[in-house]
Structure 1
Amino acid sequence: MPGQPMRARAAQVMLAVEQGQSLSQCLPPALKRLPENERPALQALCFGTCRWFFRLDGELQQRLRKPLKPLDRVIHQLMLVALFQLRHSQQASYAVLNETVEACRAMNRPHLTGLVNGVLRAAAREGEPPPQNQSVSFSHPPWMVEKLRHNWPDDWQAILDTNNTQAPMTLRVNARRFDRDQYLELLAGVGIQASATAFAPHGIQLATPVPVDRLPYFADGAVSVQDEAAQLCITLLDLAPGQRVLDACAAPGGKTCAILEACKGLAGVIAIDESADRLPRIEENLARLDLDATVQQADAANTDQWWDGQLFDRILLDVPCSATGVIRRHPDIKLLRRESDIVPLAGIQLALLNALWRTLKPGGRLVYATCSVFPQENHRIIRRFLKQTAEAALLEADALWGHDTGAGRQLLPVPHSHDGFFYAVLENRSNEREL
């Protein structure tokens, strides 16, 4: 509603997330209802409250004598937003308290203003209580804490801590337009501090995020925003002119564009994605970068639906996954993902791998990728596939990054650096093919 307080808007977005919508679904409509200069504040409130949800909720549950009624759940979210500001912003506590009480009144809950005022005054006066358990302490769902501790006994705390930080802004320089050093000079010329990434050959990391319209020649396709870990697929595909390339599960198109930028003279690039709603993003990215690919809406696993029978030299299979390697960019994953999601996802991943393998030429290469840190979606999938596919061979990546799992390389999220990602490179060693 016009004139609605910012915290009330944030509370309604948080309620939608708690009910199963992603921030990418429920936040954009809320942002559109605000003047442009107010949108960053709402985004910061929603992202921050999601990031620290389990810690904030743990504190709030300690402070409430009894839970609010289901119809008043939005006021629970309103208090979480206020607690986020008390614990993680520079705003004066009296302003947070007064404006939150006014937001409660504006949301037609005047009977709860006393409760809101009392809870938040005590929170401001007493400070944050000691966390009651590791889920609250690390601000992650209990199942995720336990699974990470089991999967990564030496790294789980670092992963959880990194997930609670803000991710850096990383660029991929369009090699058709500039080399990396040239673009670093352009950035320096407009006062933007940046440095070359350690592993991605065309990557640049900014010291501080900036709006894309401040980046030199962004609109003309000089650079794209893409995390360093995602850029590494190009170093594994071993592209060469004349190759026919498939980018499966391609939206929003960052890797499709990276493939085309990295190698001129490819025989063709096919980009497919199951979501029709996401195809325009691929087209927009291709258009800005002045690149050409065949974009199709299709279920990659259903090859009868889209495949013309011509084999591919290279396949990039970036499968649907839990996205647990990119939580710092999408903190709502903590609220939306369930442990019960992992087994079905693993089934989809293996099915995609099996289906697309038959479209790969003998001697061809398939790069399997996820933005997950769970072995169940990563090297265990590769081991299962290798066990049942005699002609598939694992190629060792000549790389200095990530952990060697014995069936692919796992990158874990690193503060001020790359996201969590997994890659495995498979080669088709068959001599003949029955189609």
Structure 2
Amino acid sequence: MSRTEATVEELLALVPEMDEMELLRLRVIAAAIPDPGRAWDSSSAYATVDKRIVSADDVERAVRDAEEAFRQYVTVLYEGLRPVFRSFYEGRGDEAAGHLVAMGERMEGEGRLKGARQCYRAALTLSLPLLEKAPQILALRRIARVALHLGEFQEASQHYERSAQLARDADDLRGEVVARTGMGNVLAWQGRWVDAEATYGDALLLAEGASEGDFTLELAQILYNLGHLATRMERLEEAEDWLARAFDRAEAAASPVDLAICHMNLGHLRYKQGRLEEARSAYDRARLLPVSRSLLSGIASDIADVCLREGHVSQAEEWGRVAEEHAIAAGSAYILGRMYQGRGNIARALGDEDGFIFFEKALEIAAEKGYPFLEAETRADYAELRRQFGGTEEAQAYLERARELFQELGAVRDVARMEAALAELRAQPAGFAIEPEEPEHPLAVAGD
């Protein structure tokens, strides 16, 4: 029997699991719309992208667009390699390495993180024997940045450390400042907040002590990262000071992304202070800036948290759907996973057992794409939902696996958090539900 539409789930089952087909999979997801036939069905509130529908015509357009984009991608790859070879044959290895890094940056900007890492690794290999260390310093940082985004903290830390040491030896002050900021980011994601703060402090001293060069942007990033850590560690007056300084630098640098992150961090601080109207205002200012759909998805999730805490349940759910739309448009599996983790937490805070659908989708994405930190955090959050509804054994299994993943990642604070949750779970009487924790904002850190 012929048909005019199908669900994303049905269509993706037809697409072979090949790297070359990843763009098509994302295009199909982007073309999908909520099923109008289920608009008044209560279960539609829990429909993930899998249940959206795509018409036959839209699939044809998605295939055509993905094919053209893939052709352009292949052209860019080969065009990018031509200057690499030219520079190599002319004996300019530093230029060849720079061209490889540029290829990687373009791929990274398109969400092709693993392909970008391969470009950066090729640049690193080429740069190792060179007397000029700048290409090696940059390649190491780029590999570290991708590893951090993928949740591979040990690799990220090692490469940032090597980059910082090389930069110091080469008297490359900017390179050292940026690498040390990156090291601070890794430590912050691992929950090693005191170590992260000390590392950011080292970078700050270096940048502020610079006698030459403009370090305005680097200082903005260090300052708002310090502000975020101070908020996390409940040093709220100190966080105010850091963020005020960060705003001055971000505005002077004229960087919309960094200014948006300043507003997000201010929103986190106001949320922690219970000043919800001001938190919402800060998030609104962030979302009005020209930033990526990925960042907009995170901002929408933050606004949903504020609405939830204010008791505006329908608004919270609506902003959760806005976060979903931005995540889909971003064309990033990682952002989709993060968004569904956030929607699961909204459902958990509402005491809605059907929120398991969102957690399951986030776990599916994390496992399929290899995002260990996302998987660990989602398992920890999912465990809270399970134990709210008496699923003690399931909750314990999720917490134990989350603890294993956090241990592998070196996330010491999260390991301790999982052990405390397990101890609390084992001590609770049968059938006793523990109140869910207040949702914690993700880290809004940046640095090259």
| TM-score of the two chains, using structure 2 as the length reference | 0.23
Identify, as 1 or 2, the structure richer in strand. Answer: 1
Compare relative contact order (CA 8 Å, sep 6+) and give the higher one, 1 or 2.
1
| TM-score of the two chains, using structure 1 as the length reference | 0.24
